[in-house]
Amino acid sequence: MATTIDYPLPKPAASPAEFSFSQALWKWVATVDHKRLGILYIATALIFFLISGLMALTMRWQLIFPLNHLVEPDTYDRLFTMHGTTMVFFVGMPIVAGLSNYLIPLMIGARDMAFPRLNAFGYWIFLFGACLLYFSYIGGSGLQGVGSAPDVGWFAYAPLTARAFSRGASTDYWALGILVSGIGSLATAINVIATCICLRCPGMTLSRMPMFVWVMLVDAWLILVALPPLSAAQIMLLLDRHLGANFFNTQMGGSAVLWQHLFWIFGHPEVYILIFPAFATLSEVIPVFSRKPLFGKPAMAGAIVAIGFISLGVWAHHMFAIGMTAWANTFFAAASMLVGIPTGIKIFNWTATMYGGKIRFSVPMLFCCAFLLQFLLAGLTGIMLGVAPFDWQLHDSYFVVAHFHYTLVGGFVFGFFAAFYYWFPKVTGKMMDETLGKWHFWLMVIGFNLTFLPQHFLGFLGMPRRIYTYWPGRGWEFWNLISTVGASIQFFAILFFLVNIIKSSISGEPAGDDPWDAWTLEWATPSPPPEYNFEKLPVVRSGRPLWDLKHPQDPDWKYQ
């Protein structure tokens, strides 16, 4: 009847104590199980998050006072380049891949992803690309011929990346590391799309698919069409640097602006690619903790699809200062403001989900609530940046830094924390500590807002980005000081998070199958799920199969 993939049930697994260390290691290295790969992705992302976070803290301490000498100028340049590159490509993208891989098959009632071996390949090549970039610390050399890691900024504008201005190999490590890692992301994208289209359990029509899966499906689509322009641009850059090609060589008539177009054609959809896991998480966590279904699921699906298309056409709002024609500036300003509308609709729908509910403020829900307010602010500062004349003052200033950290930390990272606390019990079978979680949450809220709210004012006062120091008397001292204090508080917040992870992994309370009383299929498996996920592939009749089972008098499919 069904064309779902039916893998033969494996033999019962031996208990963990029976494996030697090398056998256990091999099980992780050679795995094609989507759950293990998901865990590998998230663990790798967390490691890079910590490394990159320390880079950020160093930068903030360099800027705490004017004319500070904590780090040398070229070290600072490497710090902001590596911080940005790491956070986007080696924290954000693996979290997208990790959450998709772990949760999608469980949520759609499948046994694994569509292409398990491609999945494994994707992870290892992603890791290889990341290691390639970090190898530059010992292998490359930057603008000054001293130092090592790339120092051209995470968007590496031409012609700063040309051989003439970027001597040594550090820019090549940047391009190659991301190019290679990008192959992994593309593999994941194809895998997610094929899984969502082809492996849904019987009865799960697209409209009954959980919102999480919808969002990650559109995310995969965006990766598929937005990452290739970056890969192409990086190939062009490498050809320029090593074969003498002239793509960005202004001396031979090439265009420095071409790089910007190609980069931002990737770069803008990329920021949506990064935020989607947070959107997806909110669409699962908020309903469960408000005890109501997601308000307006069709509208939410429509909004995410709309974002998936409109976001491909707004890229030049990163380029308002390059001297485009008035027509072009107006078009991109208009498109950028329009893409804010479906995002706003999502915020309204999440709020409406909470309205009339009985909200339980456990730690995942706390992070979602903070997300709502912080992302609202971020979206509105985004509108300010989309309004081209306002952007002419704000572009490349600390206002932009504030905006994107509000979306990425206040949005993406908070959403990730919500997902982590929500699904940790499923992955490990143990609950995380609520008290430590609340410490983590409140320190993050205070620290994060103290760090980045003042940066809006720094932008208003004329402080540009990417400067390793500044002169006193320009009105920037006070806000920089506050910002650094905030960053230091975030450091402690993350410490609480790490302690919580370790403590809960060792001695957390047993979680059971469904600790949150939730409604999607992953909560119908044991915690952690067995390798084959479901003993019998489920058959569903609505978007909330567990609600239907728990409320046989009042199932969802009666109303839909």
Partner 1 sequence: MAGIELVPIPAEEMEQEWKLPDRGTVGVIFFIVMESVIFLVFVMAYLIYIGKSLTGPYPKDVLHTPIAATICLWSSSLTVALAEKALEKERLGLFKLWWIATICLGLEFLTATGLEWKELIYEDHLTIATNLFGTTFYSLVGLHASHVCVGMLFLLIVLGVTLLGFPIQTQLRRVKFLSWYWHFVDAVWVVVFTVVYVVGK
Partner 2 sequence: MWEALAFLLQVQIPGAPEHRVADIFKPLASPAASELNMAKLTLAITGAIFVVVGALIVYTMWRYRRKPGEREFEEPPQVYGSNQIELAWTVLPVLIVFVLIGVSARIIRGVENASPPPAPNVTLHVTLIGHQWWWEVRYPAFGVVTANEIHVPVTHGSNYVTYFRLESADVIHSLWVPQLAGKTDLIPNRENSTWIDPPQPGIYLGNCAEYCGTQHANMLLRVVAQEPADFQRWAANEARPAVNDPSARSGRALFESLSCINCHAVRGTRAQANFGPDLTHLMTRQTLGAGVLANTPENLRNWINDPQRYKPGCLMPAMKLTDQELNQIVAYLETLK
For partner 1, the binding residues (CB under 8 A) are 1-5, 114-115, 186, 189-191, 193-195, 197-200, 202-203, 224-225, 228-229, 231-233, 235-236, 239, 243-247, 252-255, 258, 262, 512-514, 517, 523-524, 526, 534, 536, 538-539, 541, 545-546, 549-550
Q: How far is the CB of 472 from partner 2 (least distance, A)?
A: 5
The contact pattern for partner 2, residues 163-202, with x = CB under 8 A and - = no contact, is: -xx-------------------------------------
> Which residue type occupies 19?
F
By a kind-dependent CB cut-off of 5 to 8 A, residue 24 interacts, out of partner 2, partner 1, none, with: none
Taking the C-alpha atoms of residue 420 and residue 406, their distance in angstroms, rounded to an integer, is 19
Q: Are 54 and 81 in contact (CB under 8 A)?
A: no
Taking the C-alpha atoms of residue 305 and residue 549, their distance in angstroms, rounded to an integer, is 30
CA 363 vs. chain centroid, Å, equals 20
Write out the two tokens for 105: 């098959």
What count of other Cβ atoms lies within 10 Å of the Cβ of residue 219? 29
Taking the C-alpha atoms of residue 146 and residue 133, their distance in angstroms, rounded to an integer, is 17
By a kind-dependent CB cut-off of 5 to 8 A, residue 354 interacts, out of partner 1, partner 2, none, with: partner 2
Residues that contact partner 2, how many (by CB under 8 A): 103
Compare residues 431 and 494 and give the one whose CB is closer to partner 1.
431
Candidates 196, 199, 377, 546; binder of partner 2 (CB under 8 A) is 377
Q: How far is the CB of 536 from partner 1 (least distance, A)?
A: 7
Taking the C-alpha atoms of residue 351 and residue 128, their distance in angstroms, rounded to an integer, is 41
Cα-Cα-Cα-Cα torsion 518, 524, 527, 530, nearest 10 degrees, comes to -150
C-alpha pair distances (Å), 479 with each of 62, 454, 521:
14, 5, 48
By a kind-dependent CB cut-off of 5 to 8 A, residue 231 interacts, out of partner 2, partner 1, none, with: partner 1
Residues in 51-80 at the binding interface with partner 2, rule: CB under 8 A: 64-70, 72-74, 77
- 372 touches partner 2 (CB under 8 A): yes
Candidates 27, 163, 465, 503; binder of partner 2 (CB under 8 A) is 465
Q: Reduce the DSSP state of residue 295 to 3 states and report it.
A: coil
Closest CA to 346 of 396, 405, 281: 281
Question: How would you label 49-65 residue by residue, b for 16+ Cβ within 10 Å and e otherwise?
Answer: beebbebbbbbbebbbb
Candidates 71, 232, 235, 322; binder of partner 2 (CB under 8 A) is 322
By a kind-dependent CB cut-off of 5 to 8 A, residue 372 interacts, out of partner 2, partner 1, none, with: partner 2
Compare residues 19 and 157 and give the one whose CB is closer to partner 2.
157
Piece of 42-50, 433-441, 468-476, 496-504 that binds partner 2 (CB under 8 A) = 468-476
- 160 touches partner 2 (CB under 8 A): yes
Q: How far is the CB of 226 from partner 1 (least distance, A)?
A: 8
Taking the C-alpha atoms of residue 500 and residue 504, their distance in angstroms, rounded to an integer, is 6
Closest CA to 175 of 258, 231, 245: 231
Compare residues 143 and 180 and give the one whose CB is closer to partner 2.
143
